Structure 1
Amino acid sequence: MEAGSSVPVDVARQRELKWLEMFAHWDKWLSRRYQKVRGLRCRKGIPSSLRAKAWQLLSNSKELLERNPGRFEELERQPGDPKWLDVIEKDLHRQFPFHEMFAAPVQLDGEVFGALLRRAAPAAHRHLRRFRVDPVLYLTEWFMCIFARSLPWAAVLRVWDMFFCEGVKIMFRVGLVLLRRALGSPEKLRSCQGLYETLERL
């Protein structure tokens, strides 16, 4: 049984066998049965024992590695550019929303997310607007880390399973679910009577 899961051992083993069968005929599955891969297999969760291989196949990195033998190792052995090493070593994660490279995409994501939220959870949307909580204030960390700093690890892995399978739209879906859970009822909204309380809940 997978950690943090209530899936019985025999069911987990059946899932592993189904994934192993897919791996053996991956091209066929992708070309003819992609909806089943996405709709049934990924959404049920990729077995932990097979997740690394599944992510490689879903992201197409396995094919890239095979087409470029030794390239990864070659790049890994090269010394890093001191200019970029210095940038990486700095604690930039708090500055990303204001970094010129990320500001425009994050702002656009925020606008798209705001429009989706207005439709999916109008009360939460009104509440956030009332306290001037711009989506950039919470989306940046969610999207830049694909929820790695915001969710329990087991949930992060499931989100990443779907991210590798379906792409960026999963981040918007998960974000909407989180906001509905945080601000989706009158009681929850009443408990957030200010900017600070609202951000704490997110």
Structure 2
Amino acid sequence: MAVSMENGHTQFGEEDDEVFYTQDRPQHSHSSERPRNVSREDSRVKTIDRYGFLIDSQYIKCGLSQAVPKDVAQKREKKWLEMIYNWDFWMSKRFATVRKRCRKGIPESLRGRAWQYLSCAHKLQEDNKKMFKIYLTQRIASKQEIEIKNDLHRTFPNHGMFAEDGGLGQKHLYEVLRAYIAYNPKEGFCQAHAPVASVLLMHLPQEQAFWCLVAMLQDYLPNYYSGQLEEVAKDGVILLKLLKTVHPKLHKRLKEAHIDSVMFMVEWFMCLYSRDLPWPSVLRIWDIFFCEGVKILFRIALVLLKHCTAHLPKVPREEYELLACLKTKNMPPAILEADFLIEEAYRLPIKDRDLMKEHKKLEKRSSQKKR
């Protein structure tokens, strides 16, 4: 588990609403697949939002966060441009300011470039010129090729970039995923790779998105998508340990109902909330993730767990009731909003050292079992 990271592509549909041909109204879920009986001929013209999603989709249904005033956005953009042009200085001498600005949210027009710089993906690309094209020509196992192709239509079908079967967006996603398998054949393909790569492609051209994906999976989430997902399971154990401090009653109920953390947090962490939260919230979380690492995934999870039963008379006892509460689609919309999530995340009675402490304890126990 990587617990810390101290380290101009135009946004899709950034200004006015546009229309795209896509499928009928999506289901109430980020991961909704296109219904099998709906063909391209049955599709209707739909209006999309500023992020490229269908207006009626879940991605913006809960997106009630107030837009940043234009003058404030311009000031922030100017500050970020100054930082990017003097990046090494800001990261070495003024990192606290960089972190503060990431928590406020990176300007949309600079988000992709900022993610590259925060993750050092731009240096990876510079040091490995032409390698992306080489990876595209290398053969991968036919089983993995089939798995990637089968996932294309399931990945953000409600986004204009990926809605068309065999369209340019799906082609780029296929090539980025295929190149990553060629780059890291030992890890192989994991279904969670697709949504992560898709979010990057919404903000970056193909090659930049590829190297950003490499940086994420190599430096921020090493070994997270390989084997039997042991690293994710470890983080689930740590999450429950921290939950005991944040919401002891819910922790007790989960334990009594024999509900393990992997029953609700795997998709949150592996997809970095991209399938589970309103899109403005997802982007704010990713901004912080690229700056501070996986710590923000824990903090957001704890906020969701702390407030997921607040609207109920009491914390449920039955397993099915508890599991229903833990689905973000059943949570009060207000707690899914970006400003609420981020503010609450840093009000939790949890310090970064608490996270480090639990991680070290778990690693120590794991090493003892292997002896």
Work out whether the TM-score is over 0.5: yes
- 1:50 aligned onto 2:176: no
Give 1:1-202 correspondences, 5 Å limit: 5-38=66-99, 40-89=100-149, 93=191, 101-183=227-309, 185=310, 188=312, 190=314, 192-202=316-326
DSSP 3-state at the match of 1:159? helix
Contact 2:118–2:291 under 8 Å retained in 1:
yes
Identity of aligned residues (%): 44
Residues 139-177 of structure 1: CA distance to partner in whole angstroms, max 9, x if unpaired?
Answer: 111111111111111111111111111111111111001
RMSD: 2.4
The residue type paired with residue 36 of structure 1 is: T
SS of equivalent to 1:197: helix
Q: Give the C-alpha shift of residue 103 in structure 1.
A: 3.5
**Conserved? CA contact 1:106–1:140, under 8 Å:** yes
What one-letter code is carried by the residue in structure 1 that aligns with 2:145?
A: L
- Report deviation, 1:12: 0.7
Q: Which amino acid aligns with 2:325?
A: R
Structure 2 residue matching 1:190: 3-state secondary structure: coil
Distance 2:316 2:142 in 1: 46
* Maintained 8 Å contact 1:127/1:189: no
Cα distance in 2 for residues equivalent to 1:76 and 1:5: 42
1:100 Cα deviation after fit: 7.4
Aligned partners of 2:250 and 2:315 also within 8 Å: no
The range that moved more, 42-51 or 65-74, is: 65-74
User: AA paired with 1:201?
Assistant: C
Q: Give 1:36 deviation, angstroms.
A: 1.1
Instruction: Say if 1:117 and 1:191 are closer, same or farther in 2 by CA, change over 3 A.
Output: closer
Amino acid of the structure 1 residue aligned with 2:265: L
Gapped regions of structure 2 (runs ≥ 5)? 1-13, 16-49, 51-64, 152-189, 193-224, 327-371
Distance 1:46 1:100 in 2: 31
Q: Distance in 1 between matches of 2:96 and 2:284?
A: 18
Deviation, 1:127, is: 2.1
Which runs of 4 or more aligned residues in structure 1 lie more than 2 Å from their structure 2 counterparts after TM superposition? 1-6, 76-81, 86-94, 187-193
Long gaps (5+) in structure 1: none
Deviation, structure 1 residue 193:
4.3
Cα distance between partner residues in 1 of 2:81 and 2:320: 48
TM-score, normalised to structure 2, is 0.49
CA contact (8 A) 1:143 1:171 kept: yes
Cα deviation, residue 191, structure 1: 6.2
Could you tell me how far apart the structure 1 residues matched to 2:228 and 2:103 are?
A: 30
> Could you report, residue by residue, the CA deviation over 1:45-88 in whole angstroms, capped at 9, with x for unpaired residues?
00111100000001110011011111112212434332321343
C-alpha deviation, 1:134, in angstroms: 0.9
| Change in CA separation of 1:130 and 1:115 when aligned onto 2, cut-off 3 Å | same
The 3-state SS of whatever aligns with 2:227 is helix
TM-score under structure 1 length normalisation: 0.87
- Does the CA contact (< 8 Å) of 1:42 and 1:162 recur in 2? yes
Partner SS for 2:308: helix
Conserved? CA contact 2:253–2:317, under 8 Å: no
